[in-house]
Amino acid sequence: MNKKSATKKATSELDSVEPCLETRKGNLRSDATTRACPRGAMFNGDCVASVKHRPTEASSVVAISDLGIDLVSIHGSTGTSPVVAPSDTGILPVLAGILPALRAAAQRASRPWRRRQKRWQGPGRKLQILRRSLQIAVLLLLILIPVLSLYDHLRNQRDEVGIQSRWDTRTVHSLVQDVEQPERFTQAVRGSVWTLKAGDFIISDPLAVVDFIAASRVLVDRFLITALIPVLLSLLLGRVFCGWLCPADLLFEAGSRIRSWAGIETDVRFSRRTKYALLALGLLAGLLLGTQFFAEIYPPRIISAEFYLWITFGVFGAGAWFFLLILAFEIFVSRRFWCRYVCPGGALYSLLGRWRVVRLKVQESSCTNCRLCDKACEFGLSPMQGKFGPECNNCGLCMRACPHASLSYRLSLPPRDGLDVVSENLKSA
């Protein structure tokens, strides 16, 4: 048999076989259907081929409009291999176009979370959890104090209706109603961060002490003693109240985060000496006018007072608007404007913490000059070069941002050259 006759015989045999011999009995398919259907033309148990397949054909297209796809069977010398291509109609091509876009959007959305996860895996992770916990605890304490004070007042007035009319006083009442002396609980903590009384123990902000002494022109020994613990902590740890306990710092850091999320890059700079000048002018005004100037503009005290007004009377005072104005200015104009340039309390704590013993140090040998620590610093200092100075509040944000763990806390006296750098020969340590 010659070559031409062999090809002709093979072609006639393919033409004589139906592309799909379906033997249907109800919903059952016989094995003959699968064997007779061209290879690759089965879809969900049905033979979808509707044209005759020849070895000489380049391709044959079978459209299934109900499913919205095309089966493209590419034929060659070695056989048949189906290719699925989207058609112009149906829901599958729509999903085929939407799903990659959704997948790409999910990947983009997960990138910030991955960066946050990586950032929180540094050596300063536990330190930041502790710092945030302390800040939130102070903020909650400032809310709890006026609630306890209001409940104690209503209880002394025997105002059961007033107690039951509020969920906060009602909650306190359910906790202390079985206690023999409930006033020991409700009067356990009084005051604010300006002056706090816990039992028989009183602690005052150093700024409150100097503000009172300047306004009254009287040196009260007992009042000076109440500021002893904050002064000692400042001499040991520096401006630690600002970065670890101040409730305003937590809200100002939230404003800084809003700046980052919104992509606001405007950052008007001022002189850091402004806050020291304001501290001196405030003390002079207290001496001349006999008024406590700092009590009216100090954000921690303003927050305490506004919480008291809100919980007790359901209103906010002028201090709330003053604080919101500062926060808006920090978000849109100058990053951390109040703490960097204006805060008189920060100026006093910086003076006390100038000779602090616990200091952040940068390891020169492992530092790669990536400047991530400089970007993380809320106060605009330069941790990479060891330029912390008295402004540093030992918050540890730079230590968390460092990917090489080049920053750490160390016990050290202030360096002579002003650079907190640990070099290989330890000259600057």
In a structure prediction context, what are the per-residue pLDDT tens digits for the chain, which is 429 residues long? 554 555 555 455 445 444 444 444 444 444 444 444 554 445 445 554 444 444 443 333 333 334 343 434 333 444 444 444 444 455 555 556 666 767 776 676 655 545 544 444 556 788 899 999 999 999 999 999 999 999 999 988 888 888 899 999 999 999 888 888 888 888 888 998 899 998 889 999 999 999 999 999 888 888 899 999 999 999 999 999 999 999 999 999 999 999 999 989 889 999 999 999 999 999 999 999 988 999 999 999 999 999 999 999 999 999 999 999 999 999 999 999 999 999 999 999 999 999 999 999 999 888 999 999 999 999 999 999 999 989 999 999 999 999 888 899 999 888 888 788 887 654 444
Residue 108 belongs to some domain of the structure: no
What is the structure's pLDDT at 288? 92
Quick one: DSSP state of residue 410? E
Distance (Å, whole) CA 81 – CA 75:
7
- The first and second tokens of residue 99, run together, are 């799903």
What is the structure's pLDDT at 83? 43
Task: Return the residue matching tokens 């930041």.
Answer: 128
Q: Identify whether residues 333 and 373 lie together within a single domain.
A: no
Among 309, 330, 351, the domain boundary falls at: 351
- The first and second tokens of residue 429, run together, are 């340590």
What is the structure's pLDDT at 309? 94
Nearest to 249 by CA among 298, 203, 305, 283: 298
Q: Identify whether residues 182 and 300 lie together within a single domain.
A: yes
Q: Identify whether residues 253 and 326 lie together within a single domain.
A: yes
Q: Identify whether residues 282 and 318 lie together within a single domain.
A: yes
* Contacts of 223-232 spanning 24+ positions with Cβ under 8 A: 226/195, 226/202, 227/203, 229/203, 230/203, 230/204, 230/205, 230/206, 231/206, 231/352
* Torsional class of 216: left (φ above 0), alpha (ψ -120 to 50), beta (otherwise): alpha
Residue 395 belongs to some domain of the structure: yes
Q: Identify whether residues 248 and 386 lie together within a single domain.
A: no
Residues 6+ apart with CB under 8 A from 360: 383, 388, 392, 394, 396, 398, 399, 407, 408, 409, 410, 420
Q: Identify whether residues 249 and 362 lie together within a single domain.
A: no
Among 55, 86, 117, the domain boundary falls at: 86
Q: Identify whether residues 201 and 258 lie together within a single domain.
A: yes
Nearest to 315 by CA among 323, 304, 307, 327: 307
Q: Identify whether residues 166 and 68 lie together within a single domain.
A: no
Q: Identify whether residues 384 and 283 lie together within a single domain.
A: no
pTM: 0.69
Instruction: Count how many domains the chain has.
Output: 3
CATH (domain of 382): 3.30.70
Q: Identify whether residues 150 and 73 lie together within a single domain.
A: no
- Residue-number span of the structural domain to which 69 is assigned: 3-86
Distance (Å, whole) CA 16 – CA 273:
99
Q: Identify whether residues 395 and 344 lie together within a single domain.
A: no
Burial class (CB in 10 A: 0-12, 13-18, 19+), 248: buried
Among 316, 333, 351, the domain boundary falls at: 351
Q: Identify whether residues 264 and 381 lie together within a single domain.
A: no
